[in-house]
A and B are shown apart, each in its own frame.
Chain A
Amino acid sequence: MSEKPVVETHDLTKTYGKFTAVNRLNLRVAEGEVFGLLGPNGAGKTTTILMLMGFCEPTSGAVLINGYNPLREPIKVKSIVGYMPERIGFYDDMTARENLEYTGRLNGLAGSGLKSTIDELLEVVGLRERANQLVGTYSHGMKQRLGIADVMIKRPRIAIFDEPTSGIDPEGTDQVLNLIRSMAQQKVTVIISSHQLHQLQKVCTGVGIFSRGQMIASGPVDKLGREALRKGHYHVILPIAQLADRVRDEINKIAGVRSIESVADSTVIAADEDISGELGRVVLEATGLKVQMKVEEFELEEIYMKYFEGS
């Protein structure tokens, strides 16, 4: 993150009475990055986003969006930031096209340019056929996709999505994530909040893990993994209860091995990479046994769970 950040916060704090929703948050999102805010409900993700948008006032600390304070210069911020709220709604008694036209006009667009932009966006989000139907007849997933078109209409430099996939089916989730990914390919800086990690894993270049108002870890997904599991990213399980010291020493010599532990009737070897091939050879040489091994690779999901076990 050597580039100049487009979204940054300095000791951002928001308290409601005695409850601290966001606690001294220092966030830096670089241009073109897809950053995920990950955490359980009530961890402060939405409150953070509200402060980024200038929708609520920080108790202390500062927000800078492309160098602008969203409370002081809301127009400058909102003309480059697209925002999709968690429970997005449209005017049900207007058609999808009319809703998008209204958003476009609020952004100062008009005329044939606006019309062709809307046609293009409706095509992208797959709502072209139903563009002239009332939004009241739309399913939840369709509204989410319309929401993405609504964000894209202003051609934002930064797009913020608050729980964009909550409450929609897997197919709809995939469509939404693909659309977000395609925005990222167009050099849009994206911030997504979610409590579903595997979704963020699909699109994000960086993730910040939120717990009780604090960002307890952040960085690229793989780096987070190593930090979270100091004992190694991979677990190789040998179905041998006790290893002779001689064998242990041999195993310890394999590059990347972090620890060897006996668990019940098996031995768990933690390593930074998949060492099962090498391990098999070492064990065969040392004991003459061909053992069956089980390899577990830790996904961010487990890393995420691991964080919340601790918090």
Chain B
Amino acid sequence: MNGLLEVFRKELADSFNSKRFIILFMLVYLAGIATIYIAAQNIRAAVGDATSNIFLSLFVVSGKDLPFSFPLFMSIFIPIVGIALGFDAINSERTGGNLSRVLAQPIYRDSLINGKFLSGLTMIAVLVVSVVAIVAGLGLRLIGVPPEAEEILRLFIFVLETILYGAFWLSLSLLFSVLFKKTSTSVLASIAVWIFMFLFMGIIANLIAGAAYPIGQDSTVAQVADYDSLYRMISRISPGTLYSESIQAILLPMMGSSSPTMMMIGIYSGLMPSPLPLSQSLVLVWPQLVGLVALTAVCFDIAYIVFMREEIRST
């Protein structure tokens, strides 16, 4: 544990004092407050005569003025937060001439990269917990319906999933900060991956699945199901897909299947969905969560190995 605590403390203090994070926090808080305000105005129409999970729907309802729900905003902003925390973690130490000086102190080399990862993770956790707390408190005041115990549990799981999603982007950008010597290269590489995953993964999945199982007016349910499963298989390469699938299942207990297409088929064929119990929702998202943990671990492990084997030159 030599040095880990000291590195962690310093990095955390740096993050809290930096303008970068004041801007990010403001942005995320603003988005959270805006979505919850719009949601509170539209919740009556959206919920209808449902009797359960009203508080939870506050988090998923969007309105005409702002067609984004709170989780959608998070799925956009959390990658930015993760990237901002990690993209210059190692290479800025090197260009600043600090890396060899710090590693000449009696600490293990991995204390530096572990301390930086842990402090980044703590920052993400602080951000997510605080914004969900603000949004939940504001929502409670706006609609006046208290959450049930299960809803609180579901919110808690949502918070954990969001932190995990942030951890993936943190470890990816940390990897780039080890691989690339220049901070400008590592931030660009991180953003490139983010844009690719966010914008192009769906298009690519659609192209491949569409070519394999062409869907037309006269397609059977089986064909649509084949198309859908291939499409989803490919798009799950993107951690964004894993995240959005896992939060849908947790925040929308009405959603029996994690696939919207399959749910539409179910509704059209006369199956009325009923809310799933929490344990079943968890079963549904378990593969996605494991996938996110695995992606995070792979990125961090590569970063760790490369950093541990690297030559520490001051120039």
Known A78-B104, A87-B97; judge A102-B6 contact (CB<8 A): yes
Q: Bound state CA distance, A42 and B96, in angstroms?
A: 22
Chain A CB within 10 Å, residue with most, of B96, B100, B105: B105
Comparing B106-114, B130-138, B155-163, the segment that makes contact with chain A is B106-114
Chain B CB within 10 Å, residue with most, of A82, A84, A85, A90: A85
> Does the CB pair B311–A55 fall under 8 Å?
yes
Q: In this assembly, does B52 line the interface, its C-beta being within 8 Å of a C-beta of chain A? A: no
Among A90, A105, A154, the residue within 8 A (CB) of B98 is A90
> Does the CB pair B97–A88 fall under 8 Å?
yes
> Does the CB pair A50–B105 fall under 8 Å?
no
Q: Bound state CA distance, A42 and B168, in angstroms?
A: 41
> Does the CB pair B106–A85 fall under 8 Å?
no
Among B98, B100, B106, the residue within 8 A (CB) of A107 is B106
> Does the CB pair A56–B105 fall under 8 Å?
no
Q: In this assembly, does B63 line the interface, its C-beta being within 8 Å of a C-beta of chain A? A: no
Contact-residue size bin, chain A (C-beta under 8 Å from the other chain): 20 to 34
> Does the CB pair A74–B108 fall under 8 Å?
yes
> Does the CB pair A106–B3 fall under 8 Å?
yes
Min C-beta distance of B222 to chain A, whole Å:
58
Q: Mask for A138-165, Cβ within 8 A of B = 1, else 0?
A: 0000000001001000100000001000
Known A55-B100, A83-B100, A90-B98; judge A103-B313 contact (CB<8 A): no
Which chain A residues lie closer than 8 Å to B51 at the CB level? none
> Does the CB pair B10–A102 fall under 8 Å?
yes
Q: In this assembly, does A75 line the interface, its C-beta being within 8 Å of a C-beta of chain B? A: yes
Chain A CB within 10 Å, residue with most, of B97, B100, B103: B100
Known A83-B100, A88-B97, A89-B101; judge A74-B3 contact (CB<8 A): no
> Does the CB pair A75–B104 fall under 8 Å?
no
Min C-beta distance of B101 to chain A, whole Å:
6
Q: Mask for A170-202, Cβ within 8 A of B = 1, else 0?
A: 000000000000000000000000000000000
Which chain A residues lie closer than 8 Å to B7 at the CB level? 106
Closest to A80 in B: B106
Among B14, B108, B311, the residue within 8 A (CB) of A56 is B311
Q: In this assembly, does B184 line the interface, its C-beta being within 8 Å of a C-beta of chain A? A: no
Q: In this assembly, does B102 line the interface, its C-beta being within 8 Å of a C-beta of chain A? A: yes
> Does the CB pair B104–A87 fall under 8 Å?
no
Among A85, A92, A93, A154, the residue within 8 A (CB) of B105 is A154
> Does the CB pair B313–A106 fall under 8 Å?
no
Min C-beta distance of A86 to chain B, whole Å:
5
Min C-beta distance of B21 to chain A, whole Å:
13
Q: In this assembly, does B315 line the interface, its C-beta being within 8 Å of a C-beta of chain A? A: yes
Which chain A residues lie closer than 8 Å to B280 at the CB level? none
Closest to B103 in A: A55
> Does the CB pair B108–A75 fall under 8 Å?
yes
> Does the CB pair A87–B314 fall under 8 Å?
yes
Q: In this assembly, does B305 line the interface, its C-beta being within 8 Å of a C-beta of chain A? A: no
Q: Bound state CA distance, A55 and B101, in angstroms?
A: 11
> Does the CB pair B97–A78 fall under 8 Å?
no
Q: In this assembly, does B153 line the interface, its C-beta being within 8 Å of a C-beta of chain A? A: no
Known A74-B109, A75-B2; judge A88-B314 contact (CB<8 A): yes
Which chain B residues lie closer than 8 Å to A46 at the CB level? 313
Min C-beta distance of B251 to chain A, whole Å:
40
Q: Bound state CA distance, A91 and B106, in angstroms?
A: 19
Q: In this assembly, does A79 line the interface, its C-beta being within 8 Å of a C-beta of chain B? A: yes
> Does the CB pair A50–B313 fall under 8 Å?
yes
Q: Bound state CA distance, A162 and B312, in angstroms?
A: 14
Among A56, A75, A89, the residue within 8 A (CB) of B96 is A89
Closest to A78 in B: B106
Min C-beta distance of A139 to chain B, whole Å:
15
> Does the CB pair A82–B313 fall under 8 Å?
no
> Does the CB pair B105–A106 fall under 8 Å?
yes
Among A53, A90, A108, the residue within 8 A (CB) of B104 is A53
Known A106-B6, A108-B106; judge A92-B96 contact (CB<8 A): yes
Min C-beta distance of B32 to chain A, whole Å:
29
Which chain B residues lie closer than 8 Å to A107 at the CB level? 105-106
Known A79-B106, A85-B97, A106-B102; judge A162-B314 contact (CB<8 A): yes
Min C-beta distance of B169 to chain A, whole Å:
24
Q: Bound state CA distance, A55 and B106, in angstroms?
A: 13
Which chain B residues lie closer than 8 Å to A207 at the CB level? none
Closest to B18 in A: A93
Q: Bound state CA distance, A90 and B14, in angstroms?
A: 14
Among B10, B100, B107, B311, the residue within 8 A (CB) of A85 is B100
Min C-beta distance of A60 to chain B, whole Å:
16
Q: Bound state CA distance, A81 and B103, in angstroms?
A: 12
**Which residues of chain A have a CB within 8 Å of any CB of chain B?**
46, 50, 53, 55-57, 74-75, 78-79, 81-93, 102-103, 105-108, 147, 150, 154, 162
* 4 nearest A-B residue pairs (beta carbon): A89-B97, A85-B314, A83-B104, A79-B106
User: Besides A84-B101, A106-B107, 19 other CB < 8 A contacts?
Assistant: A50-B311, A50-B312, A53-B104, A53-B312, A55-B312, A56-B312, A57-B311, A74-B106, A78-B105, A82-B104, A85-B101, A85-B314, A86-B314, A88-B97, A88-B314, A89-B98, A102-B6, A102-B10, A154-B106
Can you list 15 A-B contacts (CB < 8 A)?
Answer: A50-B312, A74-B109, A75-B106, A84-B101, A86-B315, A87-B315, A88-B101, A90-B98, A91-B98, A103-B102, A103-B105, A106-B7, A107-B106, A147-B101, A162-B314
